[in-house]
Amino acid sequence: MIVIGVLLFGACIFLHELGHFLSAKACKIRVLEFSIGMGPKLLQFHRGETAYSIRALPIGGFCAFEGESGEEPAPPGQDEAAGADAPAPPQYDERSFCRQPAWKRLLVLVMGGVMNIVFGLVLMAVLLAPQEAFASTTISKFTEHSPMQAAGLLPGDRFVSIDGYNIHTDMDISVALSLADPDHVDLVVDRGGQTLSFPDLRLLSQTVDGRKMVQMDFYVYPIERTPGALLQKTFANTYSVERMVILTLKGLLTGQFGLNDVAGPVGMAQAITQSASAGLQSGFGDAVSNIVNAIMIITVNLGIANLLPIPALDGGKILFLLIELIRRKPLRYKTQTVVETGFMAALIGFMVIVTISDVLRLATGTGLGG
């Protein structure tokens, strides 16, 4: 099952790089290599001008374009000091990445993340299509002895926010309540067009993996399944997953989440495996559904993370491109190289730490975070 998990994670990477590849080919940009995986080559073959590779480490992939760095060697005899900031005479042909107009380079850079997000939309539709009805964000009834009902909430109330987290879908409700402190929850609901606040509620709780979490004490109205509702729900739920990814990334930066809350390729493969195993306990269909759900979250995660303005990622290259548009000239090649190399080294170091933590968690049940 771990092998299946790694292959499925590799499929997400493949689609990401395919987005770069297809957009580059459509823009007539020369692609030197299309690689799945990093590190030493396990397999390589050539088709036309492009080398296709599978590499040993399943932690990423890349598309290498001619002239991607933008560095153009100075002609013999040119004074480097005098021409350090001046662009060198073009020495790449018209199909090189660095010779393309800004809109083409931007398109190629964003299409990797876009492909992941589009794949997430497709998987979300696959998950929703078999459902007889969809969940709304409006309360239909409460469980017996419900703290929410005792606090004054009524059937027909629609959730607006939970602890400041805006609610648009039932997935938002689940995310917000999973992070809330059961003893101090702030709710805002819409009741017939009127916004009502219920601050500092103490809700039912349950302990999951040693952590105290809110236990839902209400049900929501169903939404009739129609083609229009399926389309709307697909986009809304995928947007909710994107918000969840961004919330998680913010939590990592602020210290809300620790190392044990982060998963690399090994951890993601383990998550897929665990989802499949849990589903098999109730049936093959549930196992498939759990796997699709895990892949959907992972592919959206990859798409969003790669578009962040971090050097060494697609978003960092987009940032450099935007700076170039503002300055009307590119940053010095050495400046870009130093920044990207530093961030790449930090990213690789972080991935190594996360992978070690994943392996320890797989072997002992506890990662580096304790």
Catalytic residues: 17
User: Tokens 């195993």 sit at which residue?
Assistant: 277
- For CA atoms 56, 41, 116, 118, the dihedral sign is negative
C-alpha closest to that of 265 among 342, 352, 344: 352
Give the span between the Cα atoms of 68 and 234, in whole angstroms.
36
C-alpha closest to that of 215 among 278, 144, 159: 144
Q: Which two tokens stand for residue 289?
A: 């559904």
Let me know: does 32 contact 65? Beta carbons within 8 Å: yes
- Nearest-5° Cα angle at 52, 355 to 299: 45
Give the span between the Cα atoms of 283 and 295, in whole angstroms.
19
Give the span between the Cα atoms of 320 and 312, in whole angstroms.
11
Q: Which two tokens stand for residue 287?
A: 């196992």
The dihedral region occupied by 213, where left means phi > 0, alpha psi between -120 and 50, and beta the remainder, is: beta
Give the span between the Cα atoms of 323 and 326, in whole angstroms.
5
* Residues 6 or more apart in contact with residue 254 via CB below 8 angstroms: none
